[in-house]
Every structure is written in structure tokens, then in C-alpha cells.
């Protein structure tokens, strides 16, 4: 039952959308919600305003303050424009890049953003058509802009769209800019304050010239060009899952010397309806079924995918049983870091005093073991690539060299001229890794097993508990409170020895009770348990979706390659038990 005070609040808010300044279609949608007997849609559309999370704005498209539409997009852009004019007031011309993906309404929202910026006297470089999210980051840096916006909801279902705001370093906004932008947005109380009438003289279309420079710079990342030529006919299946990677990623792969790219024709159709999948999330096997079928048909060496905005990567190769299997996000990170460190060492390029890698706090600790064993600096940061970019920004100009960074949610960045996860560079790099392994007489699976035998075995599982809407948000808050106030004493029979609370920036040694400070740039609503046997459990509400995420990681030794399948079975059983212990 809907609370009467809440219903009164959302009704008054919705009635404001029936006034001047809102178009007829938007008014009709609002009126239908107001007149409906069931007020659920009304409450969901107006109970709050869309807020910047780890990825900016993201929400279901439709009418309402909690929905993606030209007015919520417009208010965010007007607020950002006001802040840019305040922050860069001494510049003769403020400039921004605006891009978008293939989703429904993405072009409309991008043109709306461009018009609002230009109406505020800001120069706009607007991509002529859909482009990868990382290319927007690249263009901001290349063109010397102060900010940028990309319209995308990444891998979310087709009902969603989103708004990513970037700063002058090409990274998504972090504190204090994110808070300051929101403050400026919150000062807009009337739709009449949003300057929708653009100035065409300040909007410049960009496209192929940026594409070419981007691809050429990505190719400089190759560490094994001779191997790429030797293995040029490596069988590579690639799918963009209906997204913006369709043209640019095969072009990037070919630039590295690989010419045997096998497409999934049905998924080469760019469409915001994502007609062949329920959800275009490359983490899900269901989204990869067609690519897996194609790989089986042609007996591919590797199958790869990018998500609809081409920032994340999915990888498939044969397992011990000869079956094509989806590699998890942590394993993708392990493979990238292993190759970059190992290959740089082989080439005599590894500088242990200055080279570094970055991962997020919920990503596999086996990466930490690799870095320590190789004497490489490793930095842990919060979930979201803006935090990886923040580390890069702090170290820029110090002589430190960035080798790579990523997170378990299938995002990796192997270059420093982009400041967001990038499948346009990661996919050809993964092809090179497959070629390098094949040149050594290994399959990708062989290489992964060798990695585990050298640095220790781990297996991870992510569990998302979805709780949509106002009631769901309240339930997520209650779950986090329960885990904080009544912490686990043991997990799968192993005592909890350390608890990290990033909301308080404190960690507690359970045995001694000693509390020490966690050195992080900001607080975050994340809780972690570490057990005596090396298990790590991280709990984090999503910043962009109505869910709470559990990241579970178990560790052991792997001494013989032939024990790999048995070790996986042991890990799966243990992960099942941990999930039961956590009641999820």
C-alpha cells in the first residue's frame, strides 16, 4: 500500500509537469499516470530525481523526474553548463564533446545536450553518429575540451538510457565536481531555466578523423606484432550485440594484423531494441549464445563481444572438456595483467620502480599476488572506472607508467590516452594474447591454468539481488544495515578475521578488536569480510541499477593442471555454501 504522504508529494510534483514548458506527449504520459487507479507508475516516476551514481545518470525512459527524458537530461546539462561556466570562467571558449550509443532516443538526447550547451555559449563537438563510450573520452583529451557527455545505458535492458558526464581529463566526474554539478542541477526549479534553443554556429560534427587517430593510437599498444603476423589467420568470432562496436572493433582488430574475423550476422544489426537478446549484457551467457554457437560452428580460437556502447569485453574459449565457455570478469582481468606484465618482462621493458596496475576493491586478489610476485605497484580503488582514472590522474607526470587497469565487471583499459574502460583496445589485445599463447603451443585455457599454478588458484562469483522501485531501495538499505550491525562471525566454516567498512573508512581486526583507518579518497557504501582461509566477500549496492551486489572469492593452491576441473568443482560447492550462509 502506498503511503498517503508520499502519494500527495508525487502527485504535486507530477502536476507541475502539466504546465507550460513540457511538450504534449510528456503531458499526456503524466496525465495518464495521474488518472490511473493504480498509482505505482506515478510513484516510481516521481518519488525522486535521477542522481549521479558511479556512472552518472541512468534510468528507464519515460515521463517523470525519476525517468530519462529530454527534461531530466536537460536539467542535468543546464546544471553542468552552469558549473562549467563558473569553473572555467577565465577561458575564452569552453568546449565539450557529446556522443551517444544506438539506444532508442539516444540521438534525440545527444542533440538536446548539444543544443543546451551551445545555447549557453559552449562549443560542442558532436559525433555524427553512434560511437563507443571510450572514444568520447579519447576525443575530450585529443581536442582539449573541458568536459563531455555520452548518452548511453551501457549493457542495461532496452527500456533504459543514461548520461555519463566527463571532466577535462576524459574521465567521469568525481568529487568535488560531481557534487558541485548536482548542486547546480538542484538549483534549477523551473523548466524555463533550461536553454533548449541551440546555437548551430557552436556545434561542430566530428567522426572519421577522430576514428582514424583513435585506431592508430590503439595499435601502438601491441607488444607482439611479429606474433600477430604469424598468427594472422587466428579464428576470431566477434559480435557487437547490436551496438556501436560493429564497424570500429573489426577495423581495430585488422589494424593489429588479424584478418580472419567471423561475424554473427544477426547481431551486426545496430538496434536499440536488441532483437536477439533479452538483455545485451555480455556477462550473461544468454547474450553470448549466438557467438558461442558460431564459435562451435567454425571451431574458433576465441570468441569476443563488446556491449552496446563498446566499453566492456566478453571472452569465450574452450575449457578442459573442449566446450566453449564464458570466461568470467575476474579471469579476464587476470589474463590481461598476466600478459602485460609477463610480455613487458620478456621484452626487457618492465620498470619495477615505476610501472603500475590498478584494480577495484571487489576484483580478484590473485591480481595482487601477480603484482607482488613481479614487484609491480598495484593500486586498489572503488568500483567504477572514474576511480581507476583518478589514480591515473594523480600519477600522471610523476614518471610512473600505467600498464593496465580493470574491474571484475568485464571492463579493462590497457592505455593511458583514454580514461574509461575500452573494448576497442581490449579486444585486439585479447586477440594478441590468444596468438601469443598459440605461438607457445598453448590454448587460452592452458595459459589460464598455468597462471593459477604459478600465482594461486581463485574462483569468484557475483550475485546480484534485484529490488526495483521505492520499496526495493528501502529493502537494500535494510540489508546493508543488517550486515553492518550483525556482521558474519564465520563464512563457510572459516572465522571472519577482518571487516572493512568503506562507509566509515575503518577496518577492524576481529580477533584483537583493533580498528585502523582505510586510506581512500572518499567514503563508499561497501562492506567487506575476510576469513581465515582467504575467502573475501564484498557487499555493495549498485550506483546505477536497483540491486545489491555480492562479490564472493575463494582461494586455494593448484599444483597439477590435471586437478583443475576438480578444483573448480570444490570452489563451486564452497561458493554455494557461502551464498547460503549469507542468505542470498
Catalytic positions, written as ranges: 154
Q: How many CB atoms lie within 10 A of CB 28?
A: 11
- Asked if residue 112 lies in contact with residue 222, where contact means CB atoms within 8 angstroms, the answer is no
Q: What are φ and ψ of residue 559, in 5° steps?
A: -95, -25
Helices marked H in 156-242: 177-186, 208-219, 225-230
| Burial of 111: CB neighbours in 10 Å, binned 0-12, 13-18, 19+ | middle
Q: What is the largest CA-CA distance in the chain?
A: 72
Question: End-to-end distance of the chain based on CA atoms, in angstroms?
Answer: 26
Question: What cell does 309 get?
Answer: 556502447
Distance of alpha carbon 355 from alpha carbon 376, whole angstroms: 6
Q: Are 383 and 362 in contact (CB under 8 A)?
A: yes
How far is the C-alpha of 570 from the C-alpha of 86, rounded, in Å?
A: 58
Helix (H) or strand (E) holding 495: strand 494-501
For residue 127, give the C-alpha cell: 559525433
Decide if 360 contacts 407 (C-beta within 8 A): yes
- Is residue 113 a contact partner of residue 73, using CB atoms and an 8 Å limit? yes
Cell numbers placing 534: 582467504
The CB density around residue 359, as the number of other CB atoms within 10 Å, is 24
Give me 115's grid cell: 543544443
Nearest to 148 by CA among 129, 131, 167: 167
Instruction: Find, among 27, 60, 24, the residue nearest to 45 by Cα.
Output: 60
Q: Rounded CA gap, 132 and 130, in Å?
A: 7
Cβ atoms 313, 332 nearer than 8 A:
yes
The rounded distance, in Å, linking the Cα atoms of 337 and 320 is: 22
Number of DSSP helices (H) and strands (E) in the chain, helices first: 18, 23
* Residues found in the chain: 584
DSSP 3-state of 204:
strand
Amino acid at each position: 500500500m502506498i503511503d498517503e504522504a508520499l502519494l500527495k508529494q508525487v502527485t504535486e510534483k507530477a502536476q507541475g509537469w502539466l504546465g507550460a514548458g513540457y511538450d504534449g506527449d510528456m503531458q499526456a504520459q503524466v496525465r495518464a499516470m495521474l488518472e490511473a487507479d493504480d498509482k505505482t507508475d506515478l510513484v516510481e516516476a516521481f518519488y525522486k530525481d535521477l542522481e549521479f551514481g558511479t556512472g552518472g545518470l541512468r534510468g528507464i525512459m519515460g515521463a517523470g523526474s525519476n525517468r530519462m527524458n529530454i527534461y531530466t537530461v536537460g536539467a542535468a546539462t543546464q546544471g553542468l553548463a552552469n558549473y562549467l561556466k563558473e569553473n572555467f570562467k577565465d577561458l575564452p571558449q569552453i568546449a565539450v564533446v557529446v556522443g551517444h550509443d544506438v539506444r532508442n532516443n539516444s540521438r534525440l538526447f545527444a542533440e538536446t545536450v548539444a543544443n543546451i550547451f551551445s545555447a549557453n555559449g559552449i562549443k560542442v563537438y558532436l559525433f555524427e553518429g553512434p560511437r563507443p563510450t571510450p572514444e568520447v573520452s579519447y576525443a575530450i583529451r585529443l581536442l582539449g575540451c573541458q568536459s563531455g557527455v555520452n548518452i548511453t545505458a551501457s549493457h542495461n535492458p532496452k527500456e533504459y538510457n543514461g548520461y555519463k558526464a566527463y571532466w577535462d581529463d576524459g574521465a567521469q566526474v568525481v568529487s568535488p565536481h560531481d557534487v558541485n554539478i548536482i548542486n547546480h542541477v538542484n538549483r534549477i526549479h523551473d523548466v524555463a531555466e533550461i536553454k533548449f534553443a541551440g546555437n548551430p554556429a557552436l556545434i561542430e560534427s566530428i567522426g572519421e578523423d577522430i576514428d582514424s587517430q583513435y585506431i592508430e593510437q590503439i595499435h601502438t599498444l601491441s607488444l607482439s606484432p611479429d606474433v600477430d603476423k604469424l598468427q594472422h589467420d587466428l579464428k576470431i568470432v566477434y559480435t557487437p550485440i547490436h551496438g556501436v562496436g560493429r564497424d570500429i572493433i573489426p577495423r581495430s582488430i585488422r589494424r593489429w594484423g588479424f584478418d580472419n574475423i567471423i561475424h554473427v550476422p544477426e547481431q551486426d544489426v545496430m538496434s536499440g531494441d536488441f532483437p536477439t537478446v533479452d538483455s545485451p549484457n555480455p556477462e550473461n551467457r544468454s547474450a553470448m549464445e549466438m557467438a558461442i554457437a558460431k564459435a562451435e560452428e567454425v571451431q574458433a580460437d576465441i570468441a569476443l563481444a563488446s556491449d552496446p556502447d563498446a566499453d566492456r569485453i566478453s571472452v569465450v574459449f574452450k575449457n578442459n572438456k573442449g566446450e566453449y565457455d564464458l570466461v568470467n570478469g575476474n579471469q579476464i582481468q587476470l589474463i590481461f595483467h598476466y600478459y602485460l606484465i609477463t610480455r613487458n618482462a620478456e621484452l626487457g621493458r618492465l620498470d619495477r620502480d615505476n610501472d603500475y596496475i590498478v584494480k577495484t576493491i571487489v576484483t580478484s586478489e590473485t591480481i595482487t599476488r601477480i603484482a607482488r610476485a613481479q614487484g609491480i605497484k598495484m593500486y586498489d580503488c572503488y568500483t567504477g572506472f572514474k576511480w581507476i582514472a583518478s589514480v591515473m590522474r594523480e600519477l600522471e607526470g610523476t614518471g610512473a607508467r600505467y600498464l593496465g587497469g580493470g574491474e571484475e565487471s568485464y571492463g579493462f583499459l590497457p592505455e593511458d590516452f583514454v580514461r574509461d574502460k575500452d573494448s576497442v583496445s581490449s579486444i585486439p589485445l585479447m586477440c594478441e594474447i590468444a596468438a601469443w599463447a598459440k605461438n607457445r603451443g598453448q590454448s587460452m585455457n592452458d595459459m589460464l591454468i598455468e597462471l593459477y599454478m604459478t600465482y594461486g588458484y581463485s574462483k569468484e562469483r557475483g550475485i546480484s539481488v534485484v529490488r526495483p522501485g521505492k520499496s526495493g531501495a528501502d529493502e537494500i538499505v535494510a540489508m546493508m544495515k543488517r550486515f553492518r550491525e550483525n556482521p558474519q562471525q564465520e563464512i563457510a566454516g572459516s572465522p571472519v578475521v577482518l571487516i572493512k567498512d568503506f562507509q566509515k573508512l575503518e577496518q577492524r581486526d576481529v580477533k584483537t578488536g583493533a580498528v585502523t583507518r582505510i586510506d581512500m579518497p572518499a567514503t563508499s557504501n561497501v562492506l567487506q569480510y575476510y576469513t581465515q582461509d582467504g575467502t573475501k566477500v564484498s557487499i555493495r549496492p549498485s550506483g546505477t541499477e536497483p540491486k545489491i551486489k555480492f562479490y564472493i572469492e575463494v582461494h586455494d593452491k593448484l599444483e597439477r593442471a590435471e586437478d583443475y576441473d576438480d578444483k573448480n568443482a570444490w570452489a563451486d560447492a564452497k561458493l554455494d555454501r557461502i551464498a547460503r550462509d549469507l542468505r542470498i
